[in-house]
Amino acid sequence: MRIVSGIQPTGEIHIGNYLGAIKQWISLQEENECIFFIADLHALTVPYNPKELQDKIIEKLVCYVAAGINPEKSIIFVQSKVKEHAELCWLLNTLCPVGELTRMTQYKDKSKKFKDNINAGLLDYPVLMAADILLYKGQAVPVGKDQEQHVELTRTIARKFNQTFGQTFEEPKELFPKSGAKIMSLTDPKKKMSKSDDPKSYISLFDSPENITKKIMSAETDSGKEVIYNVTKKPGISNLLTIYSLLADKPIKDIEKEFKSKGYGDFKKSLAKVLIDYLEPFRRKQKELQTRDVYVKEILEKGASRAKTIAETTMQEVNEKMGLI
C-alpha cells in the first residue's frame, strides 16, 4: 500500500502524536511504501514566528528519525519543497464546496482560538491536506482521531474528481491505532493532548526525566483512589492507564490488578518510570542527530527529490484531465 501522513512543525511532538500517528508509521514502513512529511504550509495558517520556523522543521525531522522512521525505507521531506502540493491544492479547491469547509470541527475550533486571524488558509487547510494525500495517490493515512473528518473530505474530493474528469484517484482510508487514537491532555482529560497547549498538559518525546516525573505526578486525576479504567467516571486515570498500557505493552486489566491495593501516587510513579525508560533511546538518538547537520539535510533533499518524481507524474495526469495541457 502507498501510505501518506504528515505532522505540522509547530510545537513539540508529544506522546499523543507518537501513539496516534508516528508509532503506526514505524510499523507500516516495514511492508509499505511510506511518504512522511513535515507540513510547514499547514503551519502558516495560525500565528507563527518566521525566524523560528526553519529550526522547528529540522527539529521535527530529527524527531521522526529518533523515534524510528527509517530514511532508507520511507520518503521523508518538507511539504513546501515539493511545489506540486500547493499546485494540486488550487486545482482541488475548484471541486470543493465551501460549505464542506465551514463545517470542519478543526476550522471551527481554530477560528474560535485565533479570532483575530481567521484567514482563508485556515478554511482551506483540509483541501491542502487532500492535495498532500492525492498527489501521491495515497491509499491509507495513519493519523489520530482528530483528523478523521479531513480524510473523509479527501475521499469526497477524490470521488468528485473521478466523476468529473474520469477515474484517477483511489479513495484513501484513515488508519487509527486500536488504542491511543486520542490521548487526552494531562491537565484537562476532557480535551485532547495538543502541541499548542501549555507544556504541562503533554509529555514531549524529549522531555527530561525530571520533567516527565513532575508532569505525571501533577497530572489531573479523579476523585476516589482506585486505579480503574472508566472513561466517563475517571477520565484522568483512564487516560494515564491507556498511556501506561501502550508503552509497557501490558493489557489495562493487568495494570489495574497490579495497582489494586495501591493508590494514585504509586501508579503515577510507576507510569513516570515507564515513560522515562521508553523515551530514553529517543533522547539519546536526538542528541546524536543534533550533531549531524549534513546527514539531516541530506535526508530531506533525497526525500524531496523522491517525492517530486511521484508528484510530477500525478500533476501531469491531473493537468491533462482538467484540460490544462
Using the minimum distance from each CB to ligand ADP, give the nearer residue, 7 or 58: 7
How far is 62 from 231, CA to CA, in rounded Å?
Answer: 34
End-to-end CA distance of the chain: 30
Kindly state the smallest distance separating residue 142's Cβ from ligand ADP, in Å: 7
Ramachandran sector of residue 119 (left: φ over 0; alpha: ψ -120 to 50; beta: rest): beta
Name the binder of 194 from ligand ADP, ligand TRP, none, CB < 5-8 A by kind: ligand ADP
Q: What is the CA radius of gyration of the chain?
A: 21
Among 56, 60, 81, 192, the active-site one is 192
> In this chain, which residue has its C-beta nearest to ligand ADP?
20
Kindly state the smallest distance separating residue 37's Cβ from ligand TRP, in Å: 7
- Give yes or no for residue 6 binding ligand TRP (CB under 6 A): yes
CA proximity to 193, closest of 15, 9, 21, 7: 15
- Contact code string over 135-164 relative to ligand TRP, x by CB under 6 A: ------x-x---x--x--------------
Kindly state the smallest distance separating residue 14's Cβ from ligand ADP, in Å: 6
For the chain, count helices (H), then strands (E): 14, 5
The kind and range of the H/E element at 142 are: strand 140-142
Q: CB of 300 within 8 A of CB of 81?
A: yes
How far is residue 84 from each of residues 92, 303, 319, measured CA to CA in Å?
A: 12, 14, 11
Q: Catalytic residue at 214? A: no
Residues 6+ apart with CB under 8 A from 248: 255, 274
Among 23, 56, 60, 110, the active-site one is 110
Among 56, 81, 195, 215, the active-site one is 195
- Contact code string over 113-132 relative to ligand TRP, x by CB under 6 A: ----------------x--x
Q: Catalytic residue at 110? A: yes
Kindly state the smallest distance separating residue 87's Cβ from ligand TRP, in Å: 15
Q: Catalytic residue at 192? A: yes
- Give yes or no for residue 88 binding ligand TRP (CB under 6 A): no
- φ and ψ of 58, to 5 deg: -65, -40
Which stretches of the chain bind ligand ADP, using CB under 6 A?
7-8, 11, 16-17, 19-21, 143-144, 146-147, 181-183, 192-196
- What residues are labeled active site? 110, 192, 195
Binding residues (CB under 6 A) for ligand TRP: these are 4-8, 39, 42, 129, 132-133, 141, 143, 147, 150
